Protein backbone atom coordinates (compact mmCIF):
# COMPACT_ATOMS: atom_id res chain seq x y z
CA UNK A 1 0.00 0.00 0.00
CA UNK A 2 1.18 3.53 -0.80
CA UNK A 3 0.61 6.14 1.87
CA UNK A 4 -0.34 9.17 -0.26
CA UNK A 5 0.54 12.73 0.66
CA UNK A 6 3.35 15.27 0.52
CA UNK A 7 4.56 14.29 3.98
CA UNK A 8 3.98 10.57 3.40
CA UNK A 9 5.15 8.46 0.45
CA UNK A 10 4.16 10.90 -2.27
CA UNK A 11 1.60 9.97 -4.90
CA UNK A 12 1.06 7.07 -7.28
CA UNK A 13 2.69 7.99 -10.59
CA UNK A 14 3.52 6.24 -13.85
CA UNK A 15 6.97 5.18 -12.63
CA UNK A 16 5.40 3.22 -9.77
CA UNK A 17 3.12 1.38 -12.17
CA UNK A 18 5.92 0.62 -14.63
CA UNK A 19 8.06 -0.82 -11.84
CA UNK A 20 5.16 -2.93 -10.60
CA UNK A 21 4.44 -4.30 -14.08
CA UNK A 22 8.08 -5.06 -14.87
CA UNK A 23 9.21 -6.43 -11.51
CA UNK A 24 6.06 -8.11 -10.20
CA UNK A 25 3.14 -8.54 -12.59
CA UNK A 26 4.93 -9.90 -15.67
CA UNK A 27 7.25 -12.25 -13.69
CA UNK A 28 4.26 -13.63 -11.74
CA UNK A 29 2.25 -14.20 -14.91
CA UNK A 30 5.15 -15.88 -16.71
CA UNK A 31 5.85 -18.11 -13.71
CA UNK A 32 2.22 -19.26 -13.62
CA UNK A 33 1.59 -19.42 -17.38
CA UNK A 34 4.96 -19.88 -19.03
CA UNK A 35 3.51 -20.87 -22.41
CA UNK A 36 0.93 -18.07 -22.63
CA UNK A 37 0.79 -14.47 -23.82
CA UNK A 38 -0.83 -12.02 -21.42
CA UNK A 39 -3.30 -9.35 -22.50
CA UNK A 40 -3.11 -6.33 -20.19
CA UNK A 41 -6.04 -3.91 -20.21
CA UNK A 42 -5.80 -0.35 -18.88
CA UNK A 43 -8.20 2.55 -18.73
CA UNK A 44 -7.26 6.01 -20.03
CA UNK A 45 -5.87 7.65 -16.91
CA UNK A 46 -2.97 10.07 -17.29
CA UNK A 47 -0.56 7.61 -15.64
CA UNK A 48 -1.43 4.93 -18.17
CA UNK A 49 -0.84 7.33 -21.08
CA UNK A 50 2.58 8.55 -19.91
CA UNK A 51 5.52 8.38 -22.32
CA UNK A 52 9.05 7.25 -21.57
CA UNK A 53 11.70 9.93 -21.08
CA UNK A 54 13.23 9.41 -24.54
CA UNK A 55 9.93 9.15 -26.43
CA UNK A 56 9.23 11.14 -29.59
CA UNK A 57 6.83 13.71 -28.15
CA UNK A 58 6.48 17.03 -29.98
CA UNK A 59 5.21 18.94 -26.95
CA UNK A 60 8.53 18.37 -25.18
CA UNK A 61 10.56 20.00 -27.94
CA UNK A 62 11.84 23.56 -28.03
CA UNK A 63 12.16 25.59 -31.21
CA UNK A 64 15.67 26.97 -30.78
CA UNK A 65 18.85 26.09 -28.91
CA UNK A 66 17.63 27.21 -25.51
CA UNK A 67 15.91 25.82 -22.48
CA UNK A 68 15.92 22.27 -21.24
CA UNK A 69 16.18 19.80 -24.10
CA UNK A 70 15.01 16.17 -23.85
CA UNK A 71 17.31 13.38 -24.97
CA UNK A 72 15.10 11.59 -27.48
CA UNK A 73 15.64 8.22 -29.11
CA UNK A 74 16.87 7.96 -32.69
CA UNK A 75 14.21 7.59 -35.33
CA UNK A 76 13.63 6.94 -39.02
CA UNK A 77 11.72 9.06 -41.51
CA UNK A 78 10.82 9.30 -45.18
CA UNK A 79 10.15 6.64 -47.82
CA UNK A 80 13.70 5.29 -47.51
CA UNK A 81 13.59 5.06 -43.70
CA UNK A 82 16.44 7.50 -43.28
CA UNK A 83 18.04 7.43 -39.85
CA UNK A 84 17.81 10.62 -37.82
CA UNK A 85 19.81 10.90 -34.62
CA UNK A 86 18.38 13.11 -31.91
CA UNK A 87 21.74 14.28 -30.59
CA UNK A 88 24.40 16.27 -32.42
CA UNK A 89 27.28 14.07 -33.63
CA UNK A 90 30.64 14.30 -31.88
CA UNK A 91 32.06 15.66 -35.14
CA UNK A 92 29.59 18.57 -35.27
CA UNK A 93 31.19 21.89 -36.26
CA UNK A 94 30.04 23.62 -33.06
CA UNK A 95 32.01 22.04 -30.22
CA UNK A 96 29.50 23.24 -27.62
CA UNK A 97 26.76 21.17 -29.25
CA UNK A 98 28.67 17.94 -29.77
CA UNK A 99 26.86 15.07 -28.11
CA UNK A 100 24.08 17.38 -26.96
CA UNK A 101 20.41 16.58 -27.61
CA UNK A 102 18.86 18.35 -30.56
CA UNK A 103 15.41 18.29 -29.09
CA UNK A 104 14.46 21.22 -31.32
CA UNK A 105 11.78 21.36 -33.96
CA UNK A 106 13.81 23.69 -36.15
CA UNK A 107 16.88 21.46 -36.36
CA UNK A 108 14.85 18.29 -36.81
CA UNK A 109 12.65 19.83 -39.51
CA UNK A 110 15.63 21.28 -41.37
CA UNK A 111 17.18 17.82 -41.56
CA UNK A 112 13.88 16.50 -42.93
CA UNK A 113 13.67 19.38 -45.43
CA UNK A 114 10.37 20.48 -43.88
CA UNK A 115 11.46 23.89 -42.61
CA UNK A 116 9.83 26.64 -44.75
CA UNK A 117 11.78 29.71 -45.95
CA UNK A 118 9.68 32.02 -43.80
CA UNK A 119 10.18 29.91 -40.70
CA UNK A 120 7.63 28.74 -38.14
CA UNK A 121 6.62 29.69 -34.64
CA UNK A 122 6.90 27.03 -31.96
CA UNK A 123 3.18 26.66 -31.28
CA UNK A 124 0.21 28.61 -32.66
CA UNK A 125 -2.81 29.91 -30.75
CA UNK A 126 -5.10 27.20 -32.12
CA UNK A 127 -2.76 24.42 -31.03
CA UNK A 128 -2.33 26.00 -27.60
CA UNK A 129 -6.10 26.00 -27.18
CA UNK A 130 -6.27 22.45 -28.58
CA UNK A 131 -8.68 23.42 -31.35
CA UNK A 132 -9.24 20.38 -33.56
CA UNK A 133 -8.86 20.99 -37.30
CA UNK A 134 -7.47 18.25 -39.55
CA UNK A 135 -6.80 20.76 -42.35
CA UNK A 136 -4.37 22.72 -40.15
CA UNK A 137 -1.09 20.93 -40.83
CA UNK A 138 1.57 23.66 -41.18
CA UNK A 139 0.47 26.25 -38.63
CA UNK A 140 3.45 25.83 -36.30
CA UNK A 141 6.58 23.75 -35.78
CA UNK A 142 5.09 21.44 -33.16
CA UNK A 143 2.08 20.74 -35.37
CA UNK A 144 4.29 19.87 -38.34
CA UNK A 145 6.52 17.46 -36.46
CA UNK A 146 3.65 15.92 -34.47
CA UNK A 147 1.97 14.81 -37.70
CA UNK A 148 5.00 12.88 -38.95
CA UNK A 149 4.51 9.08 -39.01
CA UNK A 150 7.25 8.31 -36.49
CA UNK A 151 5.82 10.76 -33.96
CA UNK A 152 2.25 9.55 -34.54
CA UNK A 153 3.38 5.94 -34.05
CA UNK A 154 4.98 6.68 -30.68
CA UNK A 155 3.51 4.39 -28.03
CA UNK A 156 3.17 5.02 -24.31
CA UNK A 157 5.69 3.68 -21.80
CA UNK A 158 3.35 0.98 -20.48
CA UNK A 159 2.55 -0.34 -23.94
CA UNK A 160 6.23 -0.40 -24.92
CA UNK A 161 7.22 -2.22 -21.74
CA UNK A 162 4.57 -4.90 -22.12
CA UNK A 163 5.11 -5.46 -25.85
CA UNK A 164 8.89 -5.63 -25.42
CA UNK A 165 8.28 -8.42 -22.91
CA UNK A 166 6.31 -10.34 -25.55
CA UNK A 167 2.81 -9.62 -24.26
CA UNK A 168 -0.10 -7.48 -25.45
CA UNK A 169 -1.69 -4.29 -24.17
CA UNK A 170 -5.10 -2.77 -24.90
CA UNK A 171 -6.93 0.45 -23.97
CA UNK A 172 -10.71 0.94 -24.22
CA UNK A 173 -11.99 4.04 -26.07
CA UNK A 174 -12.17 7.20 -23.99
CA UNK A 175 -15.50 8.30 -22.51
CA UNK A 176 -17.17 4.93 -23.09
CA UNK A 177 -17.57 3.52 -19.60
CA UNK A 178 -19.82 0.73 -20.89
CA UNK A 179 -16.74 -0.72 -22.62
CA UNK A 180 -14.44 -0.19 -19.67
CA UNK A 181 -13.83 -3.47 -17.85
CA UNK A 182 -12.62 -1.73 -14.70
CA UNK A 183 -16.02 -0.14 -14.07
CA UNK A 184 -17.53 -3.60 -13.63
CA UNK A 185 -14.74 -4.56 -11.26
CA UNK A 186 -15.24 -1.52 -9.04
CA UNK A 187 -19.02 -2.00 -8.99
CA UNK A 188 -18.49 -5.54 -7.66
CA UNK A 189 -15.92 -4.31 -5.15
CA UNK A 190 -18.26 -1.63 -3.82
CA UNK A 191 -21.05 -4.16 -3.50
CA UNK A 192 -18.83 -6.47 -1.46
CA UNK A 193 -17.59 -3.60 0.68
CA UNK A 194 -21.04 -2.55 1.85
CA UNK A 195 -21.85 -6.14 2.83
CA UNK A 196 -18.95 -6.54 5.21
CA UNK A 197 -17.79 -4.70 8.29
CA UNK A 198 -14.75 -2.60 7.39
CA UNK A 199 -12.25 -2.90 10.20
CA UNK A 200 -10.20 0.25 10.41
CA UNK A 201 -6.77 0.24 11.96
CA UNK A 202 -4.49 -2.75 12.27
CA UNK A 203 -6.64 -5.31 10.42
CA UNK A 204 -7.98 -3.03 7.70
CA UNK A 205 -5.34 -3.73 5.05
CA UNK A 206 -5.59 -7.51 5.37
CA UNK A 207 -9.35 -7.39 5.04
CA UNK A 208 -9.19 -5.04 2.08
CA UNK A 209 -6.78 -7.37 0.29
CA UNK A 210 -9.21 -10.24 0.77
CA UNK A 211 -11.91 -8.14 -0.85
CA UNK A 212 -9.69 -7.25 -3.80
CA UNK A 213 -8.83 -10.85 -4.68
CA UNK A 214 -12.37 -12.25 -4.36
| Per-residue model confidence (pLDDT) at position 113 | 94
Angle (CA) 157-163-165 rounded to 5° is 105
| Per-residue model confidence (pLDDT) at position 65 | 73
CA 115/CA 26 separation, integer angstroms: 44
Q: Residue count of the chain, please give it.
A: 214
> What is 148-200 written as a DSSP string?
SHHHHTPPPHHHHHHHHTT-EEE-PPTT-GGG-HHHHHHHHHHHHHHTS----
CA 16/CA 209 separation, integer angstroms: 19
| Per-residue model confidence (pLDDT) at position 55 | 96
21 DSSP 8-state letter: I
| Per-residue model confidence (pLDDT) at position 56 | 96
Residue 126 DSSP SS3: helix
Q: What is the maximum span of the chain, computed from C-alpha positions, in angstroms?
A: 72
| Per-residue model confidence (pLDDT) at position 7 | 73
159 contacts: CB under 8 Å, gap ≥ 6: 169
The tens digit of pLDDT for each residue in 5-36 reads: 777 777 778 898 999 999 999 999 999 999 99
Least confident of 14-18, 35-39, 42-46: 42-46
Element (H, E) at 31: helix 26-32
Q: Is the pLDDT of residue 43 over 90?
A: no
Q: Is residue 159 a contact partner of residue 178, using CB atoms and an 8 Å limit? A: no
Dihedral angle over CA of 98, 103, 105, 110, nearest 10: 30
Q: Where are the domains of the chain?
A: 1-50+156-171, 52-153, 175-214
Residues facing 84 on adjacent strands: 75
Q: Please give the mean pLDDT across all residues of the chain.
A: 85
The tens digit of pLDDT for each residue in 67-77 reads: 677 889 999 99
The tens digit of pLDDT for each residue in 101-138 reads: 887 788 999 999 999 999 999 999 999 999 989 999 99
CA 143/CA 129 separation, integer angstroms: 13
The tens digit of pLDDT for each residue in 129-168 reads: 999 899 999 999 999 999 999 999 999 999 999 999 999 9
50 DSSP 8-state letter: P
Amino acid sequence: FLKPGINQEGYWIAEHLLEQIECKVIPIFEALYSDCVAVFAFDNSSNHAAFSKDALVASRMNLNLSGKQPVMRNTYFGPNNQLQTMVFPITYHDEKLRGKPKGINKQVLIEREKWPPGGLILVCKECKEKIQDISRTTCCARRVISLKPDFIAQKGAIEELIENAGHKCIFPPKFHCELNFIERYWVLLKDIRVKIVIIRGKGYKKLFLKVLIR
